[in-house]
Structure 1
Amino acid sequence: MNSPLIILETSSFAARATIILTIVIAILFVWFGVRWQIGNLFAEITQVNQPDAREIAELAVGISPSDPFAIWLLASKERENFGTESFETSTRLIENIVRIAPNDFRWWIELGRAYEQTERPAEAERALLRAVELAPAYTFPRWQLGNFYLRQRRTDEAFAELIKTTEKSSVYREQVFALAWDYFGKDPSMVEKLAGDAPDIRSSLAMFYAVRGAAADALRNWNLLSEEQKAADPRLPRIMAQGLYDKLSFREALEFAKQAGIDPEASIGAVSNGGFEKFLGSPDDTLFGWNVYRGDARFEASVDSGVKREGARSLKVTFKGYIKPELHNVVQIIAVESGTDYRLTFWVRTENLRSGGPPILQVTNMNDGAILGATEPFANGTSDWEQKTIDFTVPADCTGISIRTARTFCGGECPIAGTFWYDDFALSRR
C-alpha cells in the first residue's frame, strides 16, 4: 500500500525539479541575452567623440563582455590617449574582438590599423590580407590594404590593390584618384596608372581632373573615349564645360561645350554669331555665344531683320530713359590664345541716341576684369553704319576675353535714350 505512494512522490519531485530547472535556464538565457543586447545597444548608438563615450564603453563591456562593438568602442577611446601603453592596450582589445568574431572582415581591418599604429607592419599586413580573404568581393578591404602599402612605400603592391578598387567601385574611385593626386604631387601619369581603360573609369577621371582645374588632362582623357562612349552620359560634358568655364579654363571649356552641343559653332579666337543671323537664346543656354541680359524694362535688345548692314539681321539695342551707370547687358565670352595680338572689328549705327554717357564697347580680361581695349563713345544723334576697331593683346596667363557693351561714366544716375544697332563682329590675329 505504501510503495505506490513513495513512487508517486518521487516522480512528482522530479517533475517539479525539471520544471524549476527549465525555468532557471530560461531566465538565465533571457538574462544573458538581454545583457548582450543592452551592451550592444549602448555601444552602437554611442559616437566615439561623445564626451561620455569612455564611461559608456566601460559600462557596455561590463554588461556585455563578449560584444565586439562594446570592446571596439573601449579600444577606440583608449587609443585617444596617444601613448605607447594606450596603443598596446587598444591593440589587445581589438585582438580580443578578432578572437570573438574571427570571420568578420571589419575587425581584421581594425586590427591591421592597430598593428600599424604600434609599428608592427608585418602583423598589420597579415591582418589586412585576412580581411581581403574574408571579403574578396568587397572594395573596402582592398582600399585599406592599398593605403597601407602606399604608406609603407610599396608602390607596386599598393597600385595592384587600388586598381581593383577603381574597377569595382565608383564610390571609391574618386578617393583613389584623390589619394594618388595628392600623394604624387598632382602628377597625372601616376593617377592614370590607377585608372585602367574602362570607359566609365576614363570618364570619371576626366571629371576628376575638371573639378580640380586640370583642364588639359580632363580634355585629353575625355577624348580617349569613342563618340558612342561619350554619349553614354550626355550630362558629363555639360558639367565639365561649366566647371572649367567657372575655373577660367576657357579653351578646354569651349571644347567640352561644343561636344555637349551647347555652342557647336563657337571656336577659339572667333566671335560666335557675329552677324546675329541666328536668334539669341537665354543666357543659360550658352557659354560662348551672345548673352543679352534684359533685367531692366528701360533696356531692350533683340535681333532686327529690318535694319542690317549685311546678311539678314542685326542686333537692335534701345534705351528708354535707362539711368544706371553700368551697362554690360550685351556680352560674349571668347576663348583666345594667350599672349596673342588680336583685332576686333564691328559696325554700329545710331538713331536719336541721347546721353551724357553714351555706349562704348570694351574688351576685358576674364581673369581679372581688366580692360584690354575700348572704342570711343558711340555718336549721339543719328548716324549711318560706322566700323569700329579695337586692337589688344591677350596677357600670357589669359585664355578668355569678354566683349561687352558699357557706358562712359556721367554720374550715379545718367539717363540714356535712343537706339543703336550692332552688326558684323569679327576677331582676327594681328
Structure 2
Amino acid sequence: MPTGNPRAAVTPGRWLAVKRLAALIGAGALLAATYWSLRLGYADLVYARGTEEAAETAVRLAPACAAYLEAAAKGREGLELAREALPTSSKLLIKLGLLSESEGDLAAAERYLLRAASVDRGYLPRWTLANFYFRQNRMDEFWKWGRQAGDMAYSDQSALFDLYWRTGARPEEILARGIPDRPQILAQYLNYLLLRDRIAEAEPVGERLLEAATRDSLPLLVSYSNHLLRTGRFRIALDVWNRLCMRGILPYQPLDPPQGRIITNGDFRWHPLAAGFDWRIQQIEGVSIGLSGPSGPLRIAFSGKQPEHCLLLEQILPVAQGSTYRLDFRTRRAEPSGGAGLIWRVWDYEGARVLAERSIGTEIKEEQNQSFVFTAPAGDPAVRLRLEYHRPLGQPRTEATIYISAVLGSPEISGGR
C-alpha cells in the first residue's frame, strides 16, 4: 500500500545514483564557470595589448563584451554590424562619423558625431566635435563644443588649448569663448600660458582664477607671481600676493610699501616658500640653513668648509620709490665667538648696485638688535634684501651657528638710524 512519501519509494541504490548525478552536474557547472572565467580573463589580457589584432581575438573569446566589439569594429560594414549590437555606443558613432568625414560625406559625419554627443554626456564626443568643426572652419560650432569639452575636463587639456591658439583668435576671445569659469580648467590654462612664457596673456586668466582660488591653487599662483616678478610686472605680482594673504590662502599679512610693511615672514614662523615675496633660502655647500623649530627662528650653521663668498638668504621687497625705510634684525650666536663675515645688504632689483649694508655683530652671544636704513631708488618698485657671507681678509672661514629671530621693516622717521 502506498505510503504517500516519495522518498520512501526510492531504493537506496536509486538514491545514491541521484546524489552522484547531482554531484556530476555541480562539478560540470563548476568546470564551466572556471573555463569561462579563465577564458574571459585571457580575453582581457589579450585586449590589454591595445592592437587591432588583439581586439579581434578578444571578440572571438568574449563576443558579448561591448568594449571588445567597439575596439575591433572597422570598416563601414564592420562598424554597422557592431552598431546593431550596440546602438547607443558613442565610440562606434564617433568611428562612423570620422569614417564618413574621410569619405567626404560631411552631413553624415556631423549626424553621427552629434548623435554620439547626445547619447554620451562625456568628454570624448565633445572633443571630437570641436575638432570636426575646426577642420570645417565652422568657428561658432567649434567654440561651442570646445567650451563644453573644457567644462568637463580634468586631465591635461594642452591639446584643446593648442587648438584654440591655432584658430588665430585674440587671447581675450579665447578666454571668453573657450575657457569655462571652473578653477580646474582656469588653472590648467594659466599653467599652459606660463609654460609658454605668455605672461601678458596670462594676466586676465590669473585674475579669474584668483576670484575662485583655494589652497589647491596656491603653488600655481605663487609660480604665477614669480613669472610676474621676473618680467617686471611688480604691481600685478604684489596684488596677486596680497589677495592670497587677505583670503588666508597665504598665512602672511598683506604688504603695504607706503606704510612700511615690506617684509614677509619676518619672524620665520612659517617655512619659506622660496617664491614670490617670501624668503629664498640658498643651498650652499658647507652651510646648513633652515628653521630650528616648527615656528622659527632661522638657524644658519657654518661648517668652516663653505665658499669664501656666498649668498645665503634673499627676499624681494616691494617699495615706494624714493621712500626711506628702516630694517631691524634680531640675531644671536650659539658660540661665544665666531660668525664674522655675515652682512645684510639691500640691492637694487637688478642686483647691480648696493643701496645699504650692515654687518651682523659678533661681539656677544646674547640676542642683539641691529638696524640700518636705505632709500628706494627712483624707477625701482622693488629691491632685494640679501644676507651674504664674505670671509674677512686674513681670517679663517667661520665655524659658527647663527639664529635670526626677526627681520622687520618700517618707514624711517627723521633722525632715525
Q: Which residue of 387, 392, 402 corresponds with 1:405?
A: 387
Whether the 8 Å CA contact 1:251–1:336 is kept in 2: the answer is no
Q: Which has the larger displacement, 175-184 or 103-112? A: 175-184
Distance 1:318 1:187 in 2: 47
C-alpha distance in 1 between matches for 2:342 and 2:59: 81
Name the structure 1 match of 2:269: 281
Q: Is the Cα–Cα contact under 8 Å of residues 126 and 145 in structure 2 kept in the other structure?
A: yes
AA paired with 2:255?
A
Question: Structure 2 vs 1, CA of residues 341 and 238 (structure 1 numbering), >3 Å: closer, same or farther?
Answer: same
Aligned residue in 1 for 2:98: 113
TM-score by length of 1: 0.58
Q: Helix, strand or coil for the counterpart of 1:283?
A: coil
1:142 aligned residue (126, 138, 150): 126
Question: For residues 9-408 of structure 1, what are the structure 2 equivalents within 5 Å?
Answer: 42=43, 45-47=46-48, 49=50, 54=53, 56-57=54-55, 59-60=57-58, 70=68, 72-74=70-72, 90-135=75-120, 137-167=121-151, 169-171=152-154, 178=161, 181-184=164-167, 187-195=171-179, 201-212=181-192, 213=194, 214=199, 215-222=202-209, 225=211, 230=212, 234-236=214-216, 238-247=218-227, 249=229, 250-251=237-238, 253-261=240-248, 262=250, 263-267=252-256, 272=261, 279-284=267-272, 288-289=277-278, 324-325=306-307, 328-335=311-318, 346=327, 357-363=341-347, 365=349, 370-373=351-354, 375=356, 378=359, 387-389=372-374, 402-408=384-390
1:107 to partner: Cα distance: 0.9
Post-superposition shift, 1:211?
A: 2.1
Distance 2:189 2:171 in 1: 11
Residues 1:360 and 1:241: Cα distance change in structure 2 (over 3 Å): same
Structure 1 CA distance, aligned partners of 2:362 and 2:118? Answer: 84
Contact 2:342 2:360 survives alignment (8 Å):
yes
The one-letter code sitting in structure 1 at the alignment partner of 2:98 is R
Judge conservation of contact 1:349–1:385 (CA < 8 Å) in 2: yes
In structure 1, what is the Cα distance between the partners aligned to 2:41 and 2:340?
79
Shift of 1:333: 2.8
Q: Alignment partner of 2:154: what SS?
A: helix
Contact 1:128-1:144 at 8 Å conserved across structures: yes
For residues 36-66 of structure 1, give each alpha carbon's deviation from its aligned partner in whole angstroms, at most 9, with x where no partner exists: x95996378424655xx52x45545666788
Q: Distance in 2 between the 1:344 and 1:59 partners? A: 77
1:370-418 CA-to-partner distances (Å, cap 9, x unmatched) read 55536456387769967453665778xxx86531110225599611669
1:297-319: CA deviation from partner (whole Å, max 9, x where unpaired): 998999xxxxxxxxxxxx99998
* Superposition TM-score, scaled by structure 2 size: 0.59
User: What letter matches 1:288 in structure 2?
Assistant: F
Contact 2:344–2:385 at 8 Å: present in 1 too? no
Give, in angstroms, the shift of residue 291 of structure 1: 7.0
Corresponding letter in the other structure for 1:112: G
Q: Secondary structure at the match of 2:277?
A: coil
Q: Distance in 2 between matches of 1:275 and 1:138?
A: 45
Contact 1:210–1:243 (Cα < 8 Å) also in 2: no
Q: Shift of the alpha carbon at 1:124? A: 1.5
Query: Partner amino acid for 2:317?
Result: I
Query: Is contact 2:301–2:400 with CA below 8 Å preserved after alignment?
Result: yes
Tell me the CA shift for residue 281 of structure 1.
0.7
**Cα distance in 1 for residues equivalent to 2:103 and 2:410:** 69
Which has the larger displacement, 61-70 or 179-188?
61-70
Q: 1:121 to 1:266 in 2, by over 3 A?
A: same
C-alpha contact 2:156 2:188 (8 A) present in aligned 1: no
> Residue 415 of structure 1 corresponds to which residue in structure 2?
398
Alpha-carbon shift at residue 187 of structure 1 (Å): 1.8
**Secondary structure at the residue paired with 1:280?**
coil
Q: Quick one: distance in 2 between partners of 1:321 and 1:40?
A: 61
The residue that corresponds to 2:7 in the other structure is none
* Cα deviation digits, residues 297-344 of structure 1 (max 9, x gap): 998999xxxxxxxxxxxx99998886634664554233579xx78876
- 1:284 and 1:174 map into 2 onto residues whose CA distance is 31
Matched residue pairs, number? 347
The CA deviation string for residues 105-132 of structure 1, in whole angstroms up to 9 with x for no partner, is: 2210121123334444332112112223
Q: CA 1:357–1:111 in structure 2 vs 1: closer, same or farther (change >3 Å)? A: same
| SS of residue in 1 equivalent to 2:359 | coil
Query: In the aligned structure 1, how far is the partner of 2:122 from the partner of 2:303?
Result: 68
Change (3 A) 1:113 1:349: closer
Contact kept? 1:299, 1:322, Cα under 8 Å: no
C-alpha change, 1:416 and 1:364, in structure 2 (3 Å) is farther
* Residue identity (%): 15
In the aligned structure 2, how far is the partner of 1:427 from the partner of 1:392?
15
Question: Residues 58, 341 of structure 1: CA spacing in aligned structure 2 closer, same or farther, 3 A cutoff?
Answer: same
Label 1:268 to 1:146 Cα distance change in 2 as closer, same or farther (>3 A).
farther
* RMSD value, Cα: 5.5
* Cα separation, 2, equivalents of 1:172 and 1:316: 40
Q: Distance in 2 between matches of 1:241 and 1:190?
A: 21
The structural deviation recorded for 1:191 is 2.9
What is the match of residue 11 of structure 1?
A: none
Q: CA deviation at 1:133?
A: 3.4
Q: State the distance in 2 between where 1:171 and 1:350 align.
A: 48
1:187-210 deviations in Å (ceiling 9; x for gaps)? 2422321345xxxx2534542343
Secondary structure class of the residue paired with 1:145:
helix
Give the residue type in structure 2 aligned to 1:211. Answer: N
Q: Distance in 2 between matches of 1:98 and 1:188?
A: 42
For 1:334, what is the secondary structure of its paired residue? strand
Structure 2: stretches of 5+ with no match in the other structure: 1-31, 230-236, 413-417
Structure 1 residues not aligned, in runs of 5+: 1-30, 77-89, 303-314
Contact 1:274 1:425 in 2 (8 A): yes
